[in-house]
Structure 1
């Protein structure tokens, strides 16, 4: 029996999606365990909107950007980041690593962005994502 390369790639893609989903579920479980009944707060409509925008922005950063989504909002965010910093970027999680990895694309070569530059990119990534989500929500 021969196994074709696209079958291997498909299997690896699905495995990566399962890893991403597992990470998200673990984070949500930790947040739920920390929450207590006294933590319930009534928010105004603006507060609820802000909370929803932040939740969607976090989901875009945690999963959609990493999965290579073709969502127009995700593509706009990525283009704006690349335009501001002047190089192509790839986002991914390494197996068993909770932290997002940012890779600088220079031709075919990928190098990891670390330190203060990574923090600057992540901060700008968060601000751009919040702004895009806020402007696209009704």
Structure 2
């Protein structure tokens, strides 16, 4: 058994990543089951583009930002969020499987945001992500 604190931290980080991946797969499976019964609908090119932008943005927020991915798009989104609010935020899924937690780095350490502030941050994160994906798509 590992006695070194660094080894224990590394093991917990690995378990955390595995848990995040399992949650992501569960959400993906639920989305697949829900989409199986959808009828075929003809929509305009602009509507399809908007739908694709929203789908990619949702994927970025649910998976890449929460997993701490070092993707340049994710870095740009988080930098813009930090510029807008003047604070650095962390996003993670709790072990109980509930919604994403928004944490703020402060002088006292990392604190969980109240629901009202979390809502404001998540809305702005969504807007920034939509803008970024829209600009980078062909």
TM-score range, shorter chain: 0.7 to 0.9
Output the TM-score relative to the length of structure 2.
0.86
Output the TM-score relative to the length of structure 1.
0.86
Deviates more, 1:43-52 or 1:93-102: 43-52
For residue 6 of structure 1, report the CA deviation from its aligned partner: 4.5
Structure 2 gap segments, 5+ residues each:
none
Is the CA contact 1:23–1:98 (under 8 Å) kept in the aligned structure 2? no
Structure 1 gap segments, 5+ residues each:
none
CA RMSD of aligned residues (A): 2.0
Cα distance in 2 for residues equivalent to 1:12 and 1:70: 20
Is the CA contact 1:91–1:101 (under 8 Å) kept in the aligned structure 2? yes
Indicate the residue corresponding to 1:111 in structure 2: 111
Deviates more, 1:48-57 or 1:74-83: 48-57
User: Measured at CA, do residues 98 and 40 of structure 1 come closer, stay the same or move farther in structure 2, by a change above 3 Å?
Assistant: farther
Count of aligned pairs between the two proteins: 138
Indicate the residue corresponding to 1:93 in structure 2: 93
